Amino acid sequence: MAEEPIQDVAHLGHAELLSPKPEESLWFFKEMLGMEEAAREGRSVYLRAYGDFDSNTLKLTEAENAGLGHTAWRTFSPQALDRRVQALEKSGRGKGWIEGDIGHGPAYQFEDPDGHLMEVYYEAEKYRPSESERPALKNQPQNYPNRGVGVRRLDHVNVLCQEVTSNREFMEEHLGFKLRENVVLDDGTEAGAWISVTPLAHDIAYTLDATNSNGRLHHVAYWCDNREDLLRAADIFLENGVYIETGPSKHAVTQGFFLYVYEPGGNRVEIFSGGYLIFSPDHEPVTWTQAERAKGQAWGLSLPESFHTYGTPVMDAATETKDIPVFDPV
């Protein structure tokens, strides 16, 4: 009888974005996405979407360069946290405990093979609405905002890396992630992997970095309930000068309905809806070939060149990029 699956990591807890333009970035998340400021401390502002149950899901930190500060995973229980910390320590990639940011308790830090800083934690603070934020429906943590897109909750992160397989395997082995979909090139290279601990088709994705850099971010994604929310979001971004890179359209991989913009600090942010849920314990991963991915997105859309090269921190213009024949080359 096969070993039982690891079921210790519950979900993506929060992400930290670095911004060289903190005021403009804050405007973007509050006025454009409709998120709420939860707290401020030092050079960081903590934010949440109206449907996030925890006190915050985004830490926005002033920094010289844009990028991903860290990614945090919440476990199902204190015991589950202990098991994961033990595994991470054995992996040689553990960095030790920190006290925890605003909104959560002690966290154990580690780095994935590509060098992205991550942490696991259990103790977390629930959001309690103030009188003015009290929702009409009590099963919703907060009232629906009367401004901006109205994103509902943090959905996933997508990070760039030099090698997909080693990162994916690290997340599977030590944290219990399951491979949902990946892209394997004709030469056998795994060009992208979409993995999750939840029924979402991905809580995190690893894709090849065309610049051979380490630790870069492709995008952070917030969820909207309806595709129409993304069509409306595109109009809001258009009216307010937010750079739309591509979308709204439908991905083939994950079937997600997407809209990609750059927040003023330079980080790519996705507004995401649709996709599908995986409840089966033995769901079979879907592997896309190079030829299949060459068909473009679900409805044939070719993504712009920048989608395959741009990440944060932004590379020098002189950086040589390699051509990764995935997604939708012409």
Binding mask 86-115 for a second copy (x = CB under 8 A): ------------------------------
CB of 19 within 8 A of CB of 62? yes
Instruction: Determine the distance from the C-alpha atom of residue 183 to the mean position of all C-alpha atoms in its chain, rounded to a whole number.
Output: 18
Q: Which two tokens stand for residue 301?
A: 């859309």
Q: For the packed helices 78-91 and 164-175, what is the interaxial angle rounded to 10 degrees?
A: 140
CB of 95 vs a second copy, minimal distance in Å = 24
Nearer to a second copy, 136 or 318 (CB): 136
Residues 167-186 within binding reach of a second copy (CB under 8 A): 181
Q: Round to whole Å and give the CA distance between 189 and 87.
A: 27
Residue among 235, 306, 319, 322 that touches a second copy (CB under 8 A): 235
Asked if 244 contacts 262 with a C-beta cutoff of 8 angstroms, the reply is no
- Residue 220 as a binder of a second copy (CB under 8 A): the answer is no
Looking at residues 255 to 274 of the shown chain, list those that interact with a second copy (rule: CB under 8 A). Answer: 255, 257, 274
Nearer to a second copy, 208 or 253 (CB): 253
Q: Tell me the C-alpha distance between 157 and 218, whole Å.
A: 8
Cα torsion 77, 125, 266, 69 to 10°: value is -50
User: Is 130 an interacting residue with respect to a second copy (CB under 8 A)?
Assistant: no
Which residue among 99, 186, 280, 317 contacts a second copy (CB under 8 A)? 280
Nearer to a second copy, 22 or 248 (CB): 248
Which x/- pattern, by CB under 8 A, does the window 299-328 give for a second copy?
Answer: xxx---------------------------
Least distance to a second copy from the beta carbon of 174, Å? 19
- Measured CA to CA, the distance from residue 161 to residue 272 in angstroms comes to 22
284 binds a second copy (CB under 8 A): yes
Q: Report the residue number, 44 or 254, with the smaller CB distance to a second copy.
A: 254
DSSP annotation of 254: G
Rule CB under 8 A: which of 150-169 touch a second copy? 152-153
Radius of gyration of the chain (CA): 19
Label the pairing between strands 44-48 and 107-111: unpaired
Contact between 70 and 141 (Cβ < 8 Å): no
The interface with a second copy within residues 33-72 (CB under 8 A) comprises 51, 53-54
Spatial separation of the C-alpha atoms in residues 274 and 228, rounded to whole Å: 11
Among 27, 39, 62, 76, binds a second copy (CB under 8 A): 76
Q: Interface with a second copy by CB under 8 A: which range of 91-99, 104-112, 143-151, 213-221?
A: 143-151
